[in-house]
Amino acid sequence: MAAAITGGVRQVVILGAGLDTYAYRSTPVSGLRIFEVDHPATQAWKRRCLGDAGIPIPAGLTFAPVDFQRETLRSGLARTGFDSLQPAFFSWLGVVPYLPRDAVFATLGFIASLSGGAAVVFDYSNPLTERASGERASAREALAARVAGLGEPFKSYFETEALRHRLSVLGFGHMEDLGPEQIRARFFAGSAATGSDWGGHVVLAAQSR
Ligand SMILES: C[S@@+](CC[C@H](N)C(=O)[O-])C[C@H]1O[C@@H](n2cnc3c(N)ncnc32)[C@H](O)[C@@H]1O
């Protein structure tokens, strides 16, 4: 996202924003518009939290309440002044694993179709393989059971190569996929936290320009 903004992108869409704080803590960038898209109930709660905490709403921030079970991202964004003819960067973190595959690819297809140019970053997990160690399989199953118990079960896993192919077919010509080891090396090198050797992937997919 930082690289996209440095490169001139002036529309950032935070999909399934939840309590994401980017809009409130980042240094203002001239002309940058940030769109927080989220379920209306979550967004209303966040806005109450922001008010209670005395955190002001930045000038360039637009709230886009969208229930993806009732409305498409395309129509939700169209109501907010989002300009599909201008470049945009989408941050979609912590959401894809909870959605059915069709919904994931519908949203990615929309992003890939934007004529102003677009890129998206999202996270996903590989399905467990036969080779997964007992410890790794148990940790994954415990996590899946915990989120299911909270009423938000994991609904989709993706094989990295199959996902890469699908993204390419959708029109994303540039992809960068970081697995757990690469994430640790890039973002946590030198950190005291060693972490485990399993976990999700983060992928950047950008349209061919
Ligand atoms: C696990 S949170 C992730 C929040 C944030 N992106 C983060 O990384 O901390 C999942 C988000 O998806 C949103 N969400 C779930 N179902 C939705 C729906 N049907 N329509 C719109 N947003 C939905 C929730 O409101 C929540 O903000």
Boundaries of every domain in the chain: 2-127+154-207
The residues, ordered by sequence, that sit 6+ positions from 191 with a Cβ below 8 Å of its Cβ are: none
> Distance from CA of residue 189 to its chain's centroid?
23
Helices (H) and strands (E) in the chain, counts: 8, 7
> Does the Cβ of 42 fall within 6 Å of ligand 1?
yes
Half-sphere exposure of 15 (CA within 13 A, CB side): 26
Residue 76, ligand 1, Cβ within 6 A? no
Ligand 1 centre from 98 Cα, in Å?
9
pLDDT tens for each residue of 67-90: 887 888 999 999 999 999 999 999
Distance, CA 93 to ligand 1 centroid (Å)? Answer: 9
CA angle 44, 33, 31 (to 5 degrees): 150
CA 131 to ligand 1 center in whole angstroms: 32
**How large is the average pLDDT for residues 182-186?**
90
Burial of 176 by CB count in 10 Å (0-12 exposed, 13-18 middle, 19+ buried)? exposed
63 pLDDT band, cuts 50/70/90, is very high
Q: Are 67 and 16 in contact (CB under 8 A)?
A: no
| Residues with Cβ within 8 Å of residue 107, at least 6 apart in sequence | 15, 68, 73, 92
For residue 164, give the nearest of 182, 177, 180, 181 by alpha carbon: 177
Cα(150)–Cα(67) distance, integer angstroms: 19
Q: Which two tokens stand for residue 95?
A: 């959401």
Answer yes or no: is the C-beta of 36 below 6 A from any ligand 1 atom: no
Q: Which amino acid is at 179?
A: G
Q: Which fold has domain 2-127+154-207?
A: Rossmann fold (3.40.50)
Which residues share a beta bridge with 123? 202
pLDDT over 90 at 189, yes or no: no
State pLDDT tens for residues 140-176: 888 888 988 988 888 899 999 999 999 999 999 999 9
The mean pLDDT value for 27-53 works out to 96
Terminal C-alpha separation, the chain: 17
Point out which residues pair with 90 in neighbouring strands: 13, 120
Determine what percent of the chain is predicted with pLDDT higher than 70: 94
User: 123: Cβ below 6 Å to ligand 1?
Assistant: no
Which residues, 6+ apart, have CB-to-CB distance to 135 below 8 Å? none
